[in-house]
Each structure stands twice: as C-alpha cells, then as structure tokens.
Amino acid sequence: MRFLPWLILLVLIWLAFRKQQNRAGDRPSQDFFRAAGGAANPESKSAEVMVCCAQCQVYVPQSESVLKAEQRFCCESCCDKYSQTQTQTQSKS
C-alpha cells in the first residue's frame, strides 16, 4: 500500500508530460513519417494499383511488375514459365 501513492504520482507526472508534448506539436509518430520521407498521416497516402501475375495469380504493385506481351508478371521467372507454356500450347494445336 505504500507504493500506491507513488504510482499515482508517477502516472500524473507522465500524463502531464504527454499533454505538454501534444501542445508543443512534438508527436513522435509524425516525426517518424517525416523522417521516412512520407506524409505526416500514413492514411493520406494513396494506394498503388495492384496487378495479378498471369502465371501464378499473385498480386504485386504495378510498379514492381514485369510487362511482356501485354501481360503482367510478378517476376522474370514467371514470365519465362508463361512463355514456355504458351509455346507448348501453340505447338500442340
């Protein structure tokens, strides 16, 4: 029971410190996003378009996809596999 008043005092000091920080505008979360080169509010950043790989059906950002023969792929190996599959299908016809 002797520690309860000390605990309450520490919580009150911590709350006062947090309130003072918010008034000054020093928010660690905003500083983190600014230092990372992003916006202060991560939700305000628009999402990138996701595209589906023609071979394995995995969704990847459009900027990271590989475009070949009007098809989008997640990587070069899927692009090669797709080309081989198309070649085999065409030779059987």
pLDDT in tens, 25-53: 655 555 555 665 555 555 556 788 999 99
Same domain, 40 and 54: no
Structure-block tokens of residue 67? 């475009």
Same domain, 38 and 64: no
Main-chain phi, psi angles of 68, to 5 degrees: -150, 130
Same domain, 54 and 88: yes
Q: Is 54 exposed, middle or buried (0-12, 13-18, 19+ CB in 10 A)?
A: buried
**Pair 71, 82: CB distance under 8 Å:** yes
Same domain, 23 and 38: yes
Overall number of domains in the chain: 2
Same domain, 66 and 81: yes
- Closest CA relative to residue 81, chosen from 62, 63, 68, 91: 68
Same domain, 35 and 57: no
Domain hosting residue 7, numbered range:
3-44
Stronger pLDDT, 41 or 56, i.e. the higher one = 56
**Pair 75, 66: CB distance under 8 Å:** yes
Whole-structure pTM value = 0.48
Using the structure block, give the residue that is written with the tokens 């950043």: 45
Same domain, 26 and 57: no
